[in-house]
Structures are given as structure tokens and as C-alpha cells.
Amino acid sequence: MSYSTEEKNAIYRVIRERRDMRHFNQKPVDAEILYKLIQAAQQAPSVGYMQPWRFIRISDYDIRMHIYEMVKAEIAETAEHVGSKREAYMNLKLEGLRECAEVWVAALMEGRDEYVLGRRTMPEMDLASLSCAIQNVWLTARAEGIGVGWVSFFHPDELADLLNMPEGSYPAAVLCIGNVDAFYSEPLLKTEGWDNERNLDEILFENTWGQNCDL
Amino acid sequence: MSYSTEEKNAIYRVIRERRDMRHFNQKPVDAEILYKLIQAAQQAPSVGYMQPWRFIRISDYDIRMHIYEMVKAEIAETAEHVGSKREAYMNLKLEGLRECAEVWVAALMEGRDEYVLGRRTMPEMDLASLSCAIQNVWLTARAEGIGVGWVSFFHPDELADLLNMPEGSYPAAVLCIGNVDAFYSEPLLKTEGWDNERNLDEILFENTWGQNCDL
């Protein structure tokens, strides 16, 4: 039931080479590829099979620019908290939002309280399911040579209002999707010295928190 | 920058064939494969490059059985809410937890409040990052012929206590990982008639909620 070495290598390659992109060119994305992205989302796991994912494709330029202004305002707010030296980095996200071929909002559906299976003590499992769906979109896009950037600089209630989202629904991501001239070779924040990759012994424990695990 | 057709097919295959598994055999999982799983987690995207993911491998039988009892109690609670006809299904998860070769708890690290980038208005983006990491683990496991089941039937505070997790950390998943005799051909809850797969027009809108989108 294990896949061939060639298949595994392709899967490890896409996991390794997927990047959060901020630089796009304006070449349109083929409809056939967009269809593959949404199909990959639908094949994600979901708690209690609730399939809470909804996507809103923003093709209207005025709505896109309204989102752009929202993100710009939140980046300015965040800059006051994290220091202005990060502002240049954050503004890359903003420019990506203007330049990318496609903007999609990824959201949680309304009426989620009816779904109790696997969510009675952990209602946030709906966001976990949506996130798995977005990761599927991201990997599929990378395989097709398409970049994706996840933007979370906005007030969810404002974005929900803009898109006439029903009460109880929730926008979790603005996805910038588009053709790119090149993919970054590593996460941009790593390149910029923001942080290093965690060591294995920092993230993997055995039986109790903090106890070293030798695989 | 697009991958070869063979590579794309491998990636689409694993996205399509990944399943939430409840039936395991007890054959151990090679350490080499476990290492690939944790490596795939580390290559996930994370908001502000915070890498909030932590994993606790449960190799101690008594701790596993303690988790088993916690899950059993929560399944009984949930059954009172969703109806006892679902109990048989939920108990499959319980048996999977007893039989699988590996139990890993996936958690959010402590000290997350320090990370503001991309989380000022949406602090739950940390869970989104962890979920992307788990999806990477899931896909990698499937390629290796290993099943993964995500269990969220527990009280997070009880599980955190059991594993001596520090204040501010949060256990988001109990992952059952192990060899299986066969993978389900479709989600088990679909097979059981719990629900159907959503149609594309139910999950994809254009510019405003509910408006049809033709790709």
C-alpha cells in the first residue's frame, strides 16, 4: 500500500518546496488549475465530515481594493506592535494582494453549532479542517507552478460584512493565488533572520512534555 | 516551475487517497518513517514563522490507556448528544486508539502571545498552522502506506494535565498512527450515509456569499 519511490519523492518534494508567496506576476491562472485547487480542498479531512470550507473568489476589482485597504490598515496597526522594521516585510504581503491573479477568501460556513461529533469539547476543530483544506490547495498550487500566500491581516467581522457573509460564518484567510517568476528557496522570514527552523528535540517529546524522544 | 505530469499525479493521488483511519494492525512503524512524518510537519507553513507545533509520542502503555479512558468517557458524553446510533462509529475511533502502533499528541506550544505577526486580530492562526502540519503528516503517512486517525474526543485541559504540559500550551489532537490492512475507499462517514460530498456550487462563491461562481 506504500507508494512507489518516484511517487513518494514527488510528494516530499511538494511538501518541501511549498512556500508562502508574496511576489506574483499578473499572468492569469488557467480555469483548469483553479478547478484542481477547489477539488483538492474538497478532498481534505473534516471533523464529523462537516466539510465546513467555503471559498469566495474575488473577481471584482473594487472589492479586491476594499480588501486591500483593510489589510493595509491592519498592517499599520500591527507595525506599531512588532516594530517598524517588520513593516517592509508586511508590505510585501500587501503588494502581493494587489498583483496576484486571483484573490480567494477561505471561510467557515454558518450553522456549525449543529455539528457536535468531535467538536463537543473542541469546537475549533472546524478551523482545523478548513486549514487542512487550505494546505491541500497550497500543495496542489505548488505542483502546478502557482504561488499561494495566506493573509491574516484583517478584522474578520469587517471582511464578513463586506462579503455579505451570514451570521455564524467566519472568514479565516485571504488567499493570494497567482503565477510567480520564481519560488523562494526557503521561508522568507527565515531568510530575513526572523527565526531559525526549530530543532527536532524542541518539537518532539516522549510521554511527557519536554522529555527527549529518540526515534 | 510546474512539476511533471507523473509528479502531479502522485500528489493528486495522495490528496485523494488520504483517509481518517480507525482500523489498524499492530505491526510497528519503522523509525525511518516516523522521522519522515515529523520532518513533513516541520515543513508546514506557520503564521509569522512561529512553528507552534509540538508532538508528544506516547510510548508508555499506561499513559496510552489513560488517554483511552478519557476518550471513552467523552465518546459516551457525545453519544448523548448525537444519538446512540452514532456510538458504534465513535467506538471505532476508540478501538483504533488501542490497536494502532503509535499514539502522538499534537499540541500548540506555550508562550504564543508573544507572536503578533498575522495574529493580532486572529490569534487562532496558530491552530491553522498546526493543522497544516498535521495534514503534511497525514499525506506523508499515506504515501508510506501508514494510516492516521485524528481523535478530538477529549477535554484538552485533562490531557494537558496528564502530559505535564505547561500553562499556555494546548493539545489539539490525539493522532493514531499505524499500519493498516487496507485503506477505506472513501470517508467512512460518507459510506455510512452520514452525509454526501458537497457540490461545488455549495462551497465556491464569487464576490459575495452565495453568488454562483463559474470557473
pLDDT at B81: 85
- Summarised one tens digit per residue, pLDDT across range B39-78 is 999 999 999 999 999 999 999 999 999 999 999 999 999 9
Percentages helix, strand, coil for chain B (3-state, rounded to 5) are 50, 20, 35
Whether chain A has a CB inside 8 Å of the CB on B84: the answer is no
Residue in the structure block whose three cell numbers are 451570514? A166
CB B152 within 8 A of CB A125: yes
Query: For domain A19-212, which CATH number applies: 3.10.20.30, 3.40.630.70, 3.40.109.10, 3.40.50.720?
Result: 3.40.109.10
CB contact under 8 A, B57 and A207: yes
CB A119 within 8 A of CB B78: no
d(CA A117, CA A50): 9
Q: What are the sequence ranges of the domains in chain B?
A: 17-212
10-residue mean pLDDT profile of chain A (215 residues): values are 97 98 96 98 97 98 98 94 78 93 98 95 98 98 98 98 98 98 95 91 98 93
H or E element that contains A172: strand A170-179
Chain A residue with the nearest C-alpha to that of B139: A11
Which of A38, A57, A121 comes nearest B206 by C-beta? A57
d(CA B172, CA B174): 7
Structure ipTM: 0.98
Q: What is the pLDDT along chain B (215 residues), one digit of tens a residue?
A: 899 999 999 999 999 999 999 999 999 999 999 999 999 999 999 999 999 999 999 999 999 999 999 999 999 999 988 876 678 888 888 999 999 999 999 999 999 999 999 999 999 999 999 999 999 999 999 999 999 999 999 999 999 999 999 999 999 999 999 999 999 999 999 998 889 999 999 999 999 999 999 88
Q: List chain B residues with CB under 8 Å of A116.
A: 78, 81-82
- Residue A179 CB coordination number (10 Å): 20
Query: For domain B17-212, which CATH number applies: 3.30.365.10, 1.20.970.10, 3.40.109.10, 3.30.70.270?
Result: 3.40.109.10
Chain A residue with the nearest C-alpha to that of B4: A143
Q: At what angle do helices A31-42 and A125-143 cross, to 10 degrees?
A: 150
A-B C-beta contacts closer than 8 Å: 307
Tell me whether strands A102-108 and A170-179 are parallel, antiparallel or unpaired: antiparallel
Residues 36-55 of B with CB under 8 A from A: 36, 38, 40-45, 47-51, 53-55
Tell me whether strands B53-58 and A204-206 are parallel, antiparallel or unpaired: parallel
d(CA A189, CA A186): 8
pLDDT at A86: 76
Q: List chain B residues with CB under 8 Å of A58.
A: 206-207
Please tell me the distance in Å from B112's CA to the nearest CA on chain A.
14
CB B181 within 8 A of CB B23: yes
Query: Structure pTM?
Result: 0.98
C-alpha cell at B108: 500548540
Handedness of CA B203, B208, B214, B215 (dihedral sign): negative
Residues 132-191 of A with CB under 8 A from B: 132, 134-136, 138-140, 143-145, 150-156, 163-166, 169, 172-173, 180, 182-183, 187, 189-190
